[in-house]
Chain A
Amino acid sequence: MKQHRLKRLYGVLFIVFCSTLAFVLVFFAIRDNVNLFYSPSDLFENPPQGRNAIRAGGLVEIGSLKRSTDSLEIEFIITDLKKSIAVNYTGILPDLFKENAGVVATGYFDKSKMSLDAYQILAKHDENYVPKEVKKALEK
């Protein structure tokens, strides 16, 4: 490669290096806030301080879902298979919300009861796509 082009190649590498460094520093600075939610284990290890809303995420524990008969109130347990926290919520649930499926709940955390008073429930869906008929056949 000719001398002047080599010099420009170094220039290009320098731009990419600087920009990478900038991104790395930014992500280093906000490393505690990049995650969308805390797992129940995170909440036990490091309970959030203050009265701000937090998000907790994990699986809806099998058999933990309790629906009220006369209102939209529900109670369930979020687990990461190590630790678990209780959640209560009143409102409409997304289509994919069910037991043993991923969920992210936003709300106010009560440290004394290790429970979350949620005002928003989001369903997480996994990366698996299976035809309805195949799944039915597998369950038989």
Chain B
Amino acid sequence: MFQILKNFYHKLGSYPWFYKISGKVIPFVAVLSISLIVISSIWGLFFSPTDAVQGDVYRIIYFHVPAVSVSQVIYYSMSVAAAVFLIWRMKMAGVYIKSLAPIGAAFTFIGLLSGAIWGQPTWGTWWVWDARLTSTLVLFLFYLAIIGMQSTFASRKSADTAVSIITLVGVVNLPIVKKSVDWWNTLHQPASISISGESSISSEMLIPLLLSILGVYLFVFFTGLLFMRAEISTREQNKEWFKKLLSNN
């Protein structure tokens, strides 16, 4: 078992192998993720029941929760990649961080924006400096720092190293985002979905929400592969295997 994992890990580090496999996987993931997003959006917007307290405005949950949730998961995965890059010098990890950072930033932005649009009618304000909102803004700023740092180095290797370090520095912020609503008084309410216990959202509303979360996760998988392929073709454009691939097509 360990040997299989080790083999997979070594293959994952190989650009030609990744390029070949990802090209085969992308169409399936693309179709699956986009149809899941379409289905869950229609379900959430038109068929799930109206909330007793908030009325129809709560339906923005079907965009807000998947976006903020995936933005945190992306950052966690990027910090794993950062550690892999720093310890094993795996180039693919650098490609991963560079490709996923803009996607993470985009989803954090969607989360902040949809939260503001939701907050105005329900709370009475677009923005408040409570711990949850502020720490999410900090997450967004870390993403921007990672994106910005990419182009400030002459060599690819030093850029990847520096970016990995700043990624690891920012990972401490993630538990704060998650636990802020429990540790301090905030305007933002605590989590409604619980993996271990009972969720405080009724199941008729929860099922389309879980579908939309799955759809967005798969969408990130799809766009992540796409961006990584683009990054690999930029880095490897003068390499023999890549030229051969181009001339074959």
Q: Is B a genuine binding partner of A?
A: yes
Is A87 close to B, CB under 8 A?
A: no
| Residues of chain B lying within 8 A (CB to CB) of residue A136 | 52
Q: Which residues 124-151 of B have a CB within 8 angstroms of A?
A: 124-125, 128-131
Chain A window 123-138, contacts with chain B (Cβ cutoff 8 Å), 1 for yes, 0 for no: 1111111111111100
Bound CA span A99–B170, Å? 41
Is A16 close to B, CB under 8 A?
A: yes
Is A95 close to B, CB under 8 A?
A: yes
Chain B window 44-77, contacts with chain A (Cβ cutoff 8 Å), 1 for yes, 0 for no: 0000011111110110010000000000000000
Q: How many residues on A have C-beta within 8 angstroms of the other chain's C-beta atoms?
A: 43
Q: How many residues on B have C-beta within 8 angstroms of the other chain's C-beta atoms?
A: 46
| Residues of chain A lying within 8 A (CB to CB) of residue B50 | 131-132
A34-42, A60-68, A109-117: which lies at the B interface? A34-42
Residue from B169, B171, B183, B192 in contact with A129 in the complex, judged by beta carbons closer than 8 Å = B192
Shortest Cβ distance from A58 into B: residue: B185
Find out whether the CB atom of A134 lies under 8 angstroms from the CB atom of B202. yes
A5-13, A45-53, A70-78: which lies at the B interface? A5-13
Residue from A96, A128, A129, A135 in contact with B122 in the complex, judged by beta carbons closer than 8 Å = A96
Residue from A5, A15, A37, A96 in contact with B53 in the complex, judged by beta carbons closer than 8 Å = A96
| Residues of chain A lying within 8 A (CB to CB) of residue B185 | 35-39, 57
Find out whether the CB atom of B176 lies under 8 angstroms from the CB atom of A23. yes
| Residues of chain B lying within 8 A (CB to CB) of residue A134 | 49, 52, 202
Find out whether the CB atom of A127 lies under 8 angstroms from the CB atom of B202. no
Is A54 close to B, CB under 8 A?
A: no
| Residues of chain A lying within 8 A (CB to CB) of residue B113 | none
| B interface list, Cβ under 8 A from A | 49-55, 57-58, 61, 82-83, 86-88, 121-125, 128-131, 165, 168-173, 176, 183-187, 189-192, 200-202, 204-205
Known A131-B52, A136-B52; further 11 A-B contacts with Cβ < 8 A: A9-B87, A27-B176, A39-B185, A93-B124, A94-B122, A122-B124, A125-B189, A126-B200, A127-B190, A129-B54, A132-B49
